Amino acid sequence: MSAQAPVAPARAEGAATAAATFEPVIIGFTCNWCSYRAADLAGTARVKYPPNVRLIRLMCSGRLDPTFVLKAFSEGADAVLVSGCHPGECHYIEQNYKALRRFQLLQRTIEALGIEPGRLQLVWASAAEGVRLANEIARVTEEVRALGPLNWPAGNIVDIDSVNLDTAWEATGGDAGGPPEAPGGVNPDHAAETAR
Ligand code: FES
């Protein structure tokens, strides 16, 4: 009688191969004034970063509505990266502190919904930090690759489309009107950028 093949090691090997070939989809919400420009800088400087991240430009990280993150997860993202100006350097004064509060709240929320908190990450990056942003994107990509695909059954848990965005915004400490559409005036760099 022949000996049976060792099933467990073969499965483990298969899982390792799947993890190695899995290409995560990461949605990156970036601030127009810093991290989006950092990504641009990385591109023009030919600094490579994984193509797994799809960048979406917001005027400020403070514009990130919590439902944007849930919507990204519900539509197939394996992770969400939020990136904005360093604390104290937001062009809308202190909106990135609001982004930080929302980020912390969202990490707890997604954990309660069965999503690993590591699938939502926050990175501060100035417009000059193209290399740093590229390195952070590479780090996040590898961390999410190790977590594996998400496949979040959102439709069974929460109806994202019926969420009232205004209520969600205000519930997380946002101003009634959201962050200003036009830059507010204390940062001279910002004024120069808009004049161009
Ligand atoms: S985080 Fe960049 S302008 Fe607010």
22-79 confidence digits (pLDDT tens): 999 999 999 999 999 999 999 999 999 999 999 999 999 999 999 899 999 988 999 9
> Which residue from 81, 89, 133, 181 has its CB within 8 A of the most atoms of ligand 1, so it is best to mutate?
89
Residues near ligand 1 (Cβ within 6 A): 31, 33-34, 60-62, 84-85, 90-92, 95-96
Residue type, 68: F
Ligand 1 atom having least distance to the Cα of 95: 4
Q: How far is the CA of 32 from the centre of ligand 1 (A)?
A: 7
DSSP secondary structure letters along the chain:
-PPPP-HHHHHHHHHHHHHHH----EEEEEETTTHHHHHHHHHHTT----TTEEEEEES-GGG--HHHHHHHHHTT-SEEEEEEPPTT--TTTTHHHHHHHHHHHHHHHHHHTT--GGGEEEEE--TT-HHHHHHHHHHHHHHHHHH------GGGT--GGGS-HHHHHHHTT--TT-S-SSPPTT-HHHHHHHH-
Q: How far is the CA of 33 from the centre of ligand 1 (A)?
A: 6
Ligand 1 atom having least distance to the Cα of 84: 1
Q: How far is the CA of 59 from the centre of ligand 1 (A)?
A: 7
Task: Specify whether the backbone of 101 is left (phi greater than 0), alpha (psi in -120 to 50) or beta.
Answer: alpha
Ligand 1 atom having least distance to the Cα of 99: 1
* pLDDT score of 178 more than 70: no
Token duo for residue 196: 């161009």
64-109 confidence digits (pLDDT tens): 999 899 999 988 999 999 999 999 999 999 999 999 999 999 999 8
Q: How far is the CA of 96 from the centre of ligand 1 (A)?
A: 6
User: Which domains are present in the chain?
Assistant: 23-195 (3.40.50)
Q: How far is the CA of 126 from the centre of ligand 1 (A)?
A: 9
